[in-house]
Amino acid sequence: MADDSLTDIYGNRIGVACRCHSDLCREVTVSGPKLSLRSVLVYTCGVWLLAYAAFCCTENTAVLSCAIILTLVGLMVYIHFFKVDHESLLIIGSLGVQLSSSYASGRECTSFIEMSKIKDVVINEAVYMHRVIYYLCILIKDPADPHAVSSVLPLFQSSKPRLKCLIEVYKTCQEILAQS
């Protein structure tokens, strides 16, 4: 897949990689933009300037140590809980689909959906104010009624790739799903 011009819905560059492990197994990884040094510096400088201003007013050194701790803790919380490094979709024919997002701190959050619960993988469009956003989602069967859809699970929520990339992923998924 040519990934020079792939962007997400906001226009940031993303990287997409597709691996074919076998006839039955494909893995698609979408990686978002990395944590930029500029934003970290801006955030740190902003917080420390504010703290220094407060220190000048109150002459209390606790304000400065508070600011340092706040910056460190905030940064750690951000990279561990919020900043998604890459998201991947592993589709194994007749077994199921595995979704995993790994965060900037290395933490991985995985979930596996069995093939018997999947009805189909589709591209849906969402109308949000003045924009139309396309997203890929998995339709999950209702255990009571096999022809009804009980829930919709959207994929690539943090990377939000555009339609061109989604179509490629969709084709890959349908090739595998067609066989099972």
- Is residue 7 part of the contact set for another protein (CB under 8 A)? no
CB 119 within 8 A of CB 141: yes
What is d(CA 20, CA 173) in angstroms, rounded to the nearest whole number? 11
21 touching another protein, by CB under 8 A: yes
Q: Which of 100, 102, 140, 164 binds another protein (CB under 8 A)?
A: 100
Distance CA 39, CA 100 (A): 26
Q: Give the residue, chosen from 6, 24, 66, 75, that forms a contact with another protein under the rule CB under 8 A.
A: 24
Angle between helices 61-77 and 37-58 (to 10 degrees): 160
Of 121, 105, 101, nearest to 180 by C-alpha is 121
Nearer of residues 67 and 97 to another protein, judged by Cβ:
97
**Nearer Cβ to another protein (7/180):** 180
CB of 180 to another protein, least distance (A): 7
Mark the segment that binds another protein (CB under 8 A) among 40-48, 60-68, 78-86, 121-129. Answer: 121-129
Could you give the count of Cα atoms lying within 13 Å of 54 in the half-sphere of its Cβ?
A: 14
Q: Are 85 and 100 in contact (CB under 8 A)?
A: no
State which residue, 60 or 157, has the beta carbon closest to another protein.
157
Q: Is 150 in the site for another protein (CB under 8 A)?
A: no
Contact residue for another protein among 5, 22, 36, 61 (CB under 8 A): 22
Contact between 142 and another protein (CB under 8 A)?
no
Tell me the chain's radius of gyration from C-alpha atoms: 21
**Residues comprising the chain, all counted:** 180
What sections of the chain are H helices per DSSP? 37-58, 61-77, 163-179
Residue 39 in the binding site for another protein (CB under 8 A): no
- Which residues contact another protein (rule: CB under 8 A)? 21-25, 27, 90, 92-95, 98, 100, 110-112, 114, 116-117, 120, 122, 124-128, 133, 135, 139, 143, 149, 152, 154, 157, 174, 177-180
